[in-house]
Structure 1
C-alpha cells in the first residue's frame, strides 16, 4: 500500500498540480468568448475557443481537460446565442470543429495520464527494488564491524547502479562494493545479477583474485558491448585486509594516517575481462576502512570543485559510532554540493574491534600471492 500511495501522489502532483495552466485556460476561453460577444465587426468564432482545451491537455489530467472543453462549448453556445447566430451553417461547422478538437484534447490528456501512471509505477518499483537490494547492513564478523549507507538521488532522477554486499565465508568475511555503468532498470538488473553471483561464488572460490575473475565470467555474457561494473573485493583476515580493485575508486584507511589504498596495478572493470592482482594491507585495532562509490568523489560545488575527500574524511569519520560517522560524512558532502546529490551514493565503513580479527574463521594461506602494503 505504501508503494501505491507513493506513485499516486507523484502522479497527482504532476498531472493536477499545475493551477497556472488551468487558470490560463479558463480565463483565456472567457476572454475569447467576450470578444466574440462584444465585437461588432470581426469575431474570433467558436473554433478559437479551442485555446482552452489545447492549453491544458498536455499538463492536466483527463477530468480537468474535459471540464475545460465543456466550458469552451458552453461559452461558444452562449456567444452565438447573444448574437443570434446559433442556426447559420458557419456556426454549425465551427461548433463541430470545436467539439472534435475538444474530444482530441481529452484523448491526448488521457494518453499523457496513462504514460505518467506507467512511468511513476515503474520508477517506484525500481526504487523499492533498489532499497531491497541495497538494504542497510549492520553486522559484526569476528573483529570487524560493518555499517552501510545508501542514499538515492533527488526525486525525479533515475535509479543508479550502486551495489554492495558482505558475506561470511569459510575464507573470512568478504565484501563487495561496485558501480554499474549507467542508470535505470538495466543498471539495476545488472547490479542484482552481480550481487547474486557474488553470493554464490564467494563461498566456493578460495582465492580473492580468482573470485573476481569468476564473477567477471559469470556476468559478462549478459552485459552489452559498452557495459561494465567497477568493483572492489575485500577479504578480512587476522591483522590484514586483502583487496582486489577492478577499476573502482580506492578505499580510504583511517588509522594513524589517512591514505588511499590504491592498488599497485590497475585492473579493468568487470565485464572487460580484468586480470586482477590482490594486495595486502596490514591493519591495527581501531583502524577504519571506508569503501564508497563515485557519488562521493564526484560531488561538486557551485564552482565545479569536487568533494575534497582526504581533507574531509578524517573529521567526518571521527565520531565514535560508525553509524554516526557515516551520517556525518553524508552531511559534509551534501553541504559541499549545497543540496541533495544528483547521483547515487553507497558508503561502507568497516571498523576493526579490540577482539582478535577473524577469530571466527581459521587463518589460511591464500593460493594466489598477495602483495603487502
Structure 2
C-alpha cells in the first residue's frame, strides 16, 4: 500500500502515539468487499446450479470453493464456519438429490473437510505474515516521520510546503531527506537523497540532517555549510556511498544555490514560465567532493514576489508509466496553481500517481517554496 503524508503535521504527535496510529492503520486496512462475499457467492451459485441441473451433473464437489476462497479474507474461525456452511449445504442438497450416503457424496463431504482444514492453516500463515509486514511497515514509517520533522509553513515572505510519497515496497525505507532552517543569515533549505535503501540509508540521512541543522546556523555561506556536511559524512560513509544534495539560501529578491549532484530545482515564474535552475559548475555529491580540488561554487538566481521554486528528489523524475516513459516534471510544473502551497503539491502528486498508474518505484519528496 502506497502512503503519503504531510510532514508539516506529523510533528505534533509523539512517537509512541504515532506508532499506535500507524499500527492500527496497517493492521485494519480497508476490507475488500469482493473477497468478503466471494465464498458465499460461490456456494450460492453452486447450490442454485445443482438445484436447476439435477444430481446427474454432480456439482456438489464445487461447494469446497467456499472455504477455499474464505482464506483470502477471513481468519481461522470464520473459515471453519464457512466450511460448516458448505458441509451442511452439501448434506441438504445431497438429501434433496437422493444421493446422501452414496460413495460420491461421501467423497464430496471429505473434500470439503480437507479443503477447510487446509484453508485454516493457510489463513493462519497469511495472518502471521500480514502482522509481521504491518509491524515492519510501522517501524519504517515512524522512523521516516521522526527523521523528517515538520518544516515551517511560512518564513517571512516565503510559504513552504512538503509532500513525501513512500515507495510501495515492504519495509523499503528510503534515504530521501529535506530540511528548512530559519537562521540569522536567512532561510536555508536542504533536499537530498542517500544512495541505497534500508536502515543504513536512514542512518546516513539522519547524520546529514543533524549536521545541516547545526551548520546552517553557524556558517555564513553555503560553501561553508557544504564543507561541514562533507566533514561529518567522512566519518560515517564507507566505500563508494554518497549523498546527492541541493542547498538553497533565500534572500529578499534572489536565491543562492549550491548543487551537489542533485536534480536541479525548478523556478516557476509569476507568469507560469518554468526555468531549470541548472548550475554552471556542478559539484560532486557529498562524500565524493574530494575528487575535485575546487570548492563548491554557489550560483544566484532571481526569486521575486509571485515566483515559486520546486525542489525534489529523483524519485519524481524517474517515475515511469506503463510505456516506460519518465514523468515530465518540467511540463507538469505548471499544475502548481492552487491557492495554497500544500494543495498545489497535492495536485502535482496526484498527477504523478496518474502518470505511473499505481505505486511509484522509489520514494519521492517534493518541497515547494513560494514568494508571496
Same fold per superposition (TM over 0.5): yes
* 2:34 is equivalent to residue 13 of structure 1: no
Unaligned runs of 5+ in 1: 354-373
**1:290 aligns to what SS in structure 2?**
strand
Q: What is residue 165 of structure 1 aligned with on the other side?
A: 179
**CA distance in 2 between partners of 1:333 and 1:92 (Å):** 58
Preserved CA contact (<8 Å) 1:249 1:292? yes
1:175, distance to aligned residue in structure 2 (A): 2.0
Preserved CA contact (<8 Å) 1:176 1:232? yes
Matches within 5 A, 1:178-327: 178-181=192-195, 190-203=204-217, 207-221=224-238, 228-236=242-250, 241-253=255-267, 259-270=275-286, 275=292, 277-281=296-300, 283=302, 286=305, 289-298=309-318, 304=325, 306-307=327-328, 309=330, 313=333, 316=336, 324-325=340-341, 327=343
Unaligned runs of 5+ in 2: 1-19
**CA distance in 2 between partners of 1:217 and 1:151 (Å):** 28
Distance 1:239 1:346, change over 3 A: closer
* 2:162 is equivalent to residue 145 of structure 1: no
Q: What is residue 371 of structure 1 aligned with on the other side?
A: none
**CA distance in 2 between partners of 1:35 and 1:182 (Å):** 61
**1:244 aligns to what SS in structure 2?**
strand
Matches within 5 A, 1:83-162: 83-85=99-101, 95=109, 98-132=112-146, 133-140=148-155, 145=158, 147-152=160-165, 160-162=174-176
1:107, distance to aligned residue in structure 2 (A): 1.6
**CA distance in 2 between partners of 1:113 and 1:122 (Å):** 14
**1:250 aligns to what SS in structure 2?**
coil
Preserved CA contact (<8 Å) 1:296 1:307? no
Question: Paired residue for 1:23, among 34, 40, 53?
Answer: 40
Preserved CA contact (<8 Å) 1:62 1:113? no
1:248, distance to aligned residue in structure 2 (A): 1.1
Q: TM-score, normalised by structure 1?
A: 0.67
Q: Based on CA coordinates, which of the two structures has the bigger radius of gyration?
A: 1
Aligned alpha-carbon RMSD (Å): 4.6
**1:50 aligns to what SS in structure 2?**
helix
**CA distance in 2 between partners of 1:226 and 1:55 (Å):** 49
